[in-house]
Amino acid sequence: MNQADEFLAVFFGPGNLVLPDLNFEGEVGRRLTPYLEPLRQGTKTPLVLPRRTREITDAYVICWDRHQATSLRAILEAFVAHSYVAFDGRPRRLDPADPVEGAVLRLVGPDTAYVLRPPGPAHAASMWRALDLMRILIAGRPERVSAVPRPLGRMLSEFHAALAAGNAAGSADLLDELAGAGLSAVNLAYLRVHRLSRLGRDAELLALPQLGDVVASGPPQLVRDGILAAWGRLQLLDLPMSDPDLVKKAADAILRDTRGIVALARTPLATLSDDALAAVTLVALGRDDRDLARSLASLPDLPNELRSQLPKLTGAPLVETAKPTVPRVRLAPTAPASWVDWVFEVADFTADDVDWTAWPAPVESDAFLAEALEGVKDAEADQAWNLVGPFLEADDMRRPAWRTAKALLVLAASYDRWAPNDVATVQALLEVFLRGAPPADEYREILDMLAENAGRWAVVGNTLPALDMVDDVARSPVSDVDARLRFALAALEPFSRHRRRLSTDLRWLGEQLSVELSAPLAWDVPEPLTDTGEEIPNVIGAKVLIYSLDDGVLQRSADRLAQLFPRVTVNRAHDRVGTPQLRAHARGADVIGLATRCAKHAATGFIRDHASEGAVIIEADGAGSASLIRAVASGLAEMGPPFT
Amino acid sequence: MSIWRRTIRTSPRLSLRLDDGLAAVFAGELLDPSPEIWIVSPWVSDVPVLDNSDQDFDVLLGDGFVGPVAFTAVLGRLAELGSLLHLTVKPDDHNRDFINRLSRHVPTTHLDIHHAADVHEKTLCGSNWVVSGSMNFTWRGFEVNEESVVYEIDPALAAQSRLDFEHRWPTP
């Protein structure tokens, strides 16, 4: 029995009623034949396979790798999404304990299969007709010649920008692209750790199979910090450092860790985050390391809670310190020492080469930085985009560097940065720009520039970041009403025209924005997509938690979710660290939507660590209300009737 | 940064051989086995890698190993001690003989075999050491050709090599 036959025997075995006798020569088996051809012939085209449980037949659309799954997303959107079946564009998290899904996992791995469940018999027939047509067209499509790979540097800058912009799915796609583009396995592992750290996925980070090798490989500071901080958060968030028994227990745990994480607790300490320093403190206490304790004590901004632990080892009296405003790190003389310096040296230094975390916030040099960026020549435009990720990471919510954001927006428009992942970054830059309440002429210039280019970015594939952009404009101070209307019409009209390709919640949001911005457009918001018109029983009474550091986004998302799902309880959180209230909300939530842009890893990690086992946790694909609403809506859809 | 690094240039004319260097590697492994060992070589033969004629290695190997001890026998002993063995070779009959012998010594739970038509590098890698160079782990490599091999004790280099191998030839 070859691999294909083995897979089919399990896929159509227990847990799937489509072919109970496994007779591939019978009537049903013969109807299945064209669907099985890619597998039997060894061609790597996506598989579309049925799975029936009781009265429901799901379509499993199985891709051979994540890159193929990413490219198929838009095709599925075009063929079946929303007209016949709800589709949020996310691959299904397959259950290895389920025999059918376990077989798919063994065949192609995780994050490569979509599961489509039609809402009823009428939609099911239409969905399968459309999928059949899609299958035939894909099978008849000539083999694609691989495109010339994009430069690694460009992909890396896009990756950092996507991560900083809170574009979780985009950063995952770029990581897959980097994996196929020749980036070394070691650097790929470092980026994977950095991404999980940035998203607050502490448990997932610490469960990486290659973590031991990453630790032993001598990782860079950013990765070292990510691993130590994840460990510190996971072990310590609920642990008062004043309790010696609990401290000892946590210290023993890190010393016993088989991946050797304890080896990362060493000098230099100056660039480590507070969460990572907590882990280092535990190591110092656990092995009575006086030298390490003295190094910790010498840090001017070591949290007092940690400092209070050190006299046990150093013998020095405790000195309470205030947080200093000076940077911790003295930079190497060769590296740029400020944001403005970096702009003049973009050709020589990437985001991985500079320690921008030690610099004063961009807002301190906003005008100079914007002027320097406006002077960037064609040859350096690509490298200048390296600044975007760190700039967004360094953004101070209360003091936006709006002139710099404007200069980067102009750079994006000048050099055609309208790819799907770029649009999420452009949205984050627009939000920074608008938060700065720019004067009317600057406001008009940027909104008109974006409106002129709307044909490039206001397309169905970019629905979420595009609607996030419109929502940013709608909720921000307005200094030119006409410019705002021109922008709204240019941005919303393509979505109104293609409204049938949008999910119900996004059509509804489009209608809300149209009304708010006085842009009269048709949206035809349908009733909920079920044959019976009834709400999903599991969703009634569900508890939702949404997290973002942007209060405006949080408020608007909560208000709209309350209108969209009147029988769902929505709690909001914007804490920077774990709190008893956040713990209670996380534990009680059925669905958790996280906007990860500028999120505090301590809080997102805390939420994940305290969420109930059955909770659906979804990262928004952008930083705005549209992304957060879509994340919650897809999470609620996942709560639909369980497989039986 | 290497803790220790030695370059060995083998030359049959000058009686310079790799045996002593490899004997040190495998003796160290038998004392303190690596959780995972990678063997990456286009061609591999069941060459002797330890000379137990004087029974110097009895305490490490246990009973029943007299005279020259073959590669597969040492690897089998390491698997008994808990090492997971990863082997990457060209798909070829010559290598199949070696794999068949190895399979007799090592249970499938401790053996991860990959065939790669385009493999060219020659590397042995344990938890904190790497042996790499121009030499296939074959009789010609050991006895005939003039080769250059670097033996490094460097935990970071070994970890980076494992990350690279695992990325290219993932363990199922």
Mean pLDDT of A1-8: 81
Gap between the Cα atoms of A518 and A525, Å rounded: 18
Model pLDDT for residues A88-119, shown as the tens digit of each residue: 778 888 888 899 999 999 898 888 899 998 87
Model pLDDT for residues A228-254, shown as the tens digit of each residue: 999 888 877 666 777 778 888 888 888
**Residue A69: what pLDDT?**
87
Q: Taking CB atoms and an 8 Å limit, are B163 and A215 in contact across chains? A: no
Q: For residue A559, what are its two tokens? A: 């208000």
Mean pLDDT of A476-494: 95
Please state which of the ranges A371-385, A393-407, B7-21, B118-132 shows the lowest mean pLDDT: B7-21
pLDDT score of B169 more than 60: yes
Q: Taking CB atoms and an 8 Å limit, are A210 and B166 in contact across chains? A: yes
Tell which residue, A437, A427, A439, A351, has the closest CA to residue A394: A351
pLDDT score of A205 more than 90: yes
pLDDT score of A348 more than 50: yes
Nearest to A184 among B155, B156, B164 (CB): B164
**Residue A149: what pLDDT?**
63
**Residue B77: what pLDDT?**
94
CA angle B139, B145, B148 (to 5 degrees): 105
Q: Taking CB atoms and an 8 Å limit, are A217 and B163 in contact across chains? A: yes
Helix (H, G, I), strand (E, B) or coil at A81: strand
Contact between A390 and A356 under an 8 Å Cβ cutoff? The reply is yes
**B51 touching A, CB under 8 A?**
no
Q: Taking CB atoms and an 8 Å limit, are B160 and A217 in contact across chains? A: yes
Q: Taking CB atoms and an 8 Å limit, are B163 and A218 in contact across chains? A: no
**B155 touching A, CB under 8 A?**
yes
Gap between the Cα atoms of A599 and A605, Å rounded: 10
Q: Which residues face A594 on adjacent strands?
A: A547, A619
Model pLDDT for residues B31-72, shown as the tens digit of each residue: 999 999 999 999 999 988 888 888 888 888 888 888 889 999
Nearest CA in chain A to B158: A217
Q: How far apart are the first and last CA of chain A?
A: 30
Model pLDDT for residues A42-59, shown as the tens digit of each residue: 888 899 999 998 777 899
Q: How confident is the model at residue A575 (pLDDT cuts 50, 70, 90)?
A: confident
Mean pLDDT of A125-150: 78
Contact between A104 and A60 under an 8 Å Cβ cutoff? The reply is yes
**Residue A142: what pLDDT?**
67
- Inter-chain Cβ pairs, chain A and chain B, closer than 8 A: 36
Nearest CA distance, A489 vs chain B (angstrom): 48
* One-character DSSP codes across A537-603: GGGTT-EEEEE-S-HHHHHHHHHHHHHHSTTSEEEEE--SS--HHHHHHHHH-SEEEE--TT--HHH
**A183 touching B, CB under 8 A?**
no
All residues of chain A having their beta carbon less than 8 Å from the beta carbon of residue B159 are 212-218
Nearest to B159 among A179, A188, A217 (CB): A217
SS (H, E, C) A413-461: HHCCCCCHHHHHHHHHHHHHHHHCCCCHHHHHHHHHHHHHCHHHHCCHH
Q: For residue A485, what are its two tokens? A: 């209307």
How high is the mean pLDDT of chain B?
A: 87
Q: Taking CB atoms and an 8 Å limit, are A213 and B160 in contact across chains? A: yes
Q: Percent of chain A scored above 90 by pLDDT?
A: 37
Q: Percent of chain A scored above 70 by pLDDT?
A: 91
Tell which residue, B137, B124, B108, B95, has the closest CA to residue B36: B124
Model pLDDT for residues A559-568, shown as the tens digit of each residue: 889 888 888 9
Please state which of the ranges A70-84, A229-243, A351-365, A381-395 shows the lowest mean pLDDT: A229-243
Model pLDDT for residues A410-433, shown as the tens digit of each residue: 999 998 889 888 999 999 999 999
**Residue A146: what pLDDT?**
52
Please name the residue ranges forming H helices in A80-184. 99-108, 121-140, 152-164, 168-179
Nearest to A217 among B156, B167, B168 (CB): B156
Most A CBs within 10 Å, among B3, B34, B37, B160, to test the A interface:
B160
pLDDT score of A165 more than 90: no
Looking at per-residue pLDDT, the higher value among A246 and A629 belongs to A629
Gap between the Cα atoms of B99 and B121, Å rounded: 19
pLDDT score of A529 more than 50: no
Q: Which residues face A24 on adjacent strands?
A: none
**Residue A238: what pLDDT?**
63
Q: Taking CB atoms and an 8 Å limit, are A216 and B167 in contact across chains? A: no
**A260 touching B, CB under 8 A?**
no
Residues composing chain A: 644
**Residue A483: what pLDDT?**
96
Model pLDDT for residues A168-196, shown as the tens digit of each residue: 888 888 888 888 777 889 999 999 999 99
Mean pLDDT of A382-402: 90
Gap between the Cα atoms of A219 and A502, Å rounded: 43
Contact between A84 and A118 under an 8 Å Cβ cutoff? The reply is yes
pLDDT score of A139 more than 70: yes
**A258 touching B, CB under 8 A?**
no
Element (H, E) at B18: none
Most B CBs within 10 Å, among A192, A208, A213, A227, to test the B interface:
A213
| Cα radius of gyration (chain B) | 15
Cβ neighbors of A239 (< 8 A, separation 6 or more) are A246, A247, A250
Contact between B89 and B38 under an 8 Å Cβ cutoff? The reply is no
Q: Up-side HSE of residue A576: CA atoms within 13 Å toward CB? A: 4
Distances, alpha carbon A483 to alpha carbons A433, A456, A464, A487, A552, in Å? 15, 19, 22, 6, 22
Tell me which residues of chain A, numbers 213 to 232, contact chain B at a CB-CB cutoff of 8 Å.
213-218
pLDDT score of A534 more than 60: no
CA angle A132, A133, A138 (to 5 degrees): 100
